[in-house]
Every structure is written in structure tokens, then in C-alpha cells.
Amino acid sequence: MTTNETMIGRADVNDVDAILAISNHDVDAVVHAVRSNSDAIFTWDYERTRQALSKLYEKAKTSQWNANDLAWDTEVDQLSVIEANRAQNRMIFEGHDLKGTPVESWGEDEWTQHAIEAQNWTLSQFMHGEQGALICTAQIVETVPWIDAKYYAATQVMDEARHVEVFARYLDTKLSGHYPINAHLKMLLDDIIADNRWDMTYLGMQIMVEGLALASFGFMHQMTTEPLLKQLLRYVMSDEARHVAFGVISLQEFYSQLTAAEIRERQEFAFEAAVRMRDRFLQQEVWEKLGVDVREMVDVTLNAPDRPIFQALLFSKIVPNCKKLGLLDAADGWLRHRFEELQVIQFEDWVDTSEEYTALDEVAKDRATAA
């Protein structure tokens, strides 16, 4: 039986020292190389047999948009935006007794500085994650054996280039600093890229990373009062919904041919990815930058009363999609039990993303309004 140690490198999911032992050692390097172990696959079967993928490909071709068309001339005063956001939304530590913690004496100014850093950090991680998606999807073009999937994945490569472009531009022109990639996100992306089984790229990227991105962009889209960021996020979300659907449609077909042992490996990979993504949201680099004790603050964050709600919302797309793929209940509900421990199982019957992309297509809606 596989243990937590072999899957995630620690017995207790909430072991703070083990979480912090993972750190990004080459923050000053300009490039990072990951060895890919996959074969590039040609197919001589050009028959278009996969209707759902074909439909998604047609949709992607007509839903392309140009990053230059967003309202980049919008004035963004980060400080006023943060104040407006804080006036409208409940924050994670609100109502939490911080006595005895490193931030017990913090007043308005410190919390404002924290919010600024947290925003720079969050958008930086979105940008790095988008580059991960760009690389993974280019890899899928090479490794997937089906022609319809190669066609679709090629459109996603273009989508992801545009996403990296918009987040980089927003960070450079509207915010006040970049962060290097979070250690846990980096570890996960490296694992996904290095795996030689083509379907694992899909599971790691399209189902787990992009499922979380879709929920997280939706959350920020609702929270922010800044119109350019709102517009940027809803355009990116239109694309992301197709990407997650691409994962669900492809893996549903592929998983139907796998053995129980092979499905169990996919369950374990999904669990590992879920833990890495949960760990990345602890924002350890922000506390470090603000000069407070990182270990204590990660501990406080893990135990914040509102944290299970924030964390669970981020998993609102992943859990139903894993259920649709049969990953929750295979092997006597192995992944269901893990998701119960992470307190995210309540989303299992929320809408899955295989069809949701039409509803989320803001680009088509805007074009219909303009016409």
C-alpha cells in the first residue's frame, strides 16, 4: 500500500516543517530545465472520429481573442483597489484571534502592505502557472496519439501563450512587483512534465492545475473591484473552461481502458497534486518578504477559521471532475477518503466542466452584443 511518505514526502499532510522544507533554491536563475521522458508520437490515422473533441476544436478556433484588445489604458491605483476590495470582501484572518502570533500588533498599514504583497504574489503565481500550462499543452501536442486531440491541444497552446502575456503585462504595468514561482507549484509542474505517461499530463494540468485555476480566477473575478482585471479574468476563464473540458473528455475515454492498478496510480497522482496546490496557497513567500516568522504564520494560516471555506471553494471544479472520471470511487473510494481529509468532498455533485465551457464563453457573448 502506498503511504503518504512515498506520495507526498511526509506522513502528516499538515506537517508545517515538512511543508516549509520544500523551497525554491534557484530563484535567481533565468531558466529552469526539466527533462521530459516522453516519446513524440506521430499518428497516421487522420480519421476524425472523436466528435466531442472536434466540437471543442471548432469552438476554440472561433473564440480566439487578442490580448491587445483589453482596456489596458485603465488607470490602476493598486492601493485604492486594495482598499475598495477590502471594504467589500471578508478577508481570511478577519474575526480570527491573532493574539500571540507574529502579526498581533499589526494595524491598518501593515495589513494594507500585506494585501499588496499578496496580490503581487497571487498574480505572479498565475503567470508562472500559465507558463506551465503552455509547456504541458505543447507536450500534449507531441505525446497524445489521437489526431483530434492534437488539433485541439494546438489551439490551447495559443490560448496559454496569450494568458502568460496578459498576466505578465498586468504585473508589469499595473502592480508593484513580481515573485518567483512558489516551490510547491514548481515541484508539481516539474512532476507533471517529467512523467512519461501522456494521460498524466492531462490529469496534472487540465484536471488539477487548470481546475483549480478556473475556480480561483472565478473567485478573484467576483472579489475584485478593478475593471481591467475583471475583464482579463473573465476572458481567461472562457478559455480555461474549454481546457478543463478537454481534459475531462479525453480522460473519460482513456480511463475506460485502464486496469484497476493503473486507475489507482491516477488517484494517487491526483491526491499528490491536490496537496501541492493546497500547500502553494499558504503563501509562504509573502510572509518571508514581510519579515515575519514564516513557520508561525503558515501554522496560523492552516488553522484560520475561514481557511477550510477558502480552500474548499478552490477545489469546487476538481472534485466533480474527478468524480466524473471515476477517480473518486475506484479502489473502494480511496480518493474520496483523501478528499474528505482535505475537507473538500462536499463539491462532488457540483457541475462538472465537460459542458460548462459554453456557459462561460464571455468572448462569444461580447461579440454577439457588439454585432
The residues that touch Fe ion, with contacts defined as CB under 5 A, are 130, 133, 160, 163, 210, 240, 243
Q: Which is nearer to Fe ion, 82 or 220 (CB)?
A: 220
Q: How many helices (H) and strands (E) does the chain have?
A: 17, 0
Q: Which is nearer to Fe ion, 233 or 300 (CB)?
A: 233
Q: How far is CA 341 from CA 13, 14, 272, 315, 332, in A?
A: 9, 11, 13, 13, 16
Min dist. Cβ of residue 212 to Fe ion (A) = 11
Dist CA 358 CA 151 (whole Å): 19
Dist CA 314 CA 219 (whole Å): 8
Q: Which is nearer to Fe ion, 130 or 285 (CB)?
A: 130
Dist CA 362 CA 359 (whole Å): 8
Q: What is the DSSP string of 284-306?
A: HHHHHHTTS-HHHHHHHHHT-TT
Dist CA 327 CA 10 (whole Å): 23
Strands (E), 121-257: none
* Cell numbers 512523467: residue: 195
Q: Which is nearer to Fe ion, 163 or 184 (CB)?
A: 163
Min dist. Cβ of residue 240 to Fe ion (A) = 5
Q: Which is nearer to Fe ion, 234 or 307 (CB)?
A: 234
Min dist. Cβ of residue 160 to Fe ion (A) = 5
Q: Which is nearer to Fe ion, 128 or 243 (CB)?
A: 243
| Long-range CB contact pairs, 294-300, < 8 A, 24+ | 294/20, 295/16, 295/17, 295/20, 296/101, 296/102, 297/101, 297/102, 297/103, 298/16, 298/19, 298/20, 299/16, 300/93, 300/96, 300/98, 300/101, 300/103
Q: Which is nearer to Fe ion, 117 or 160 (CB)?
A: 160
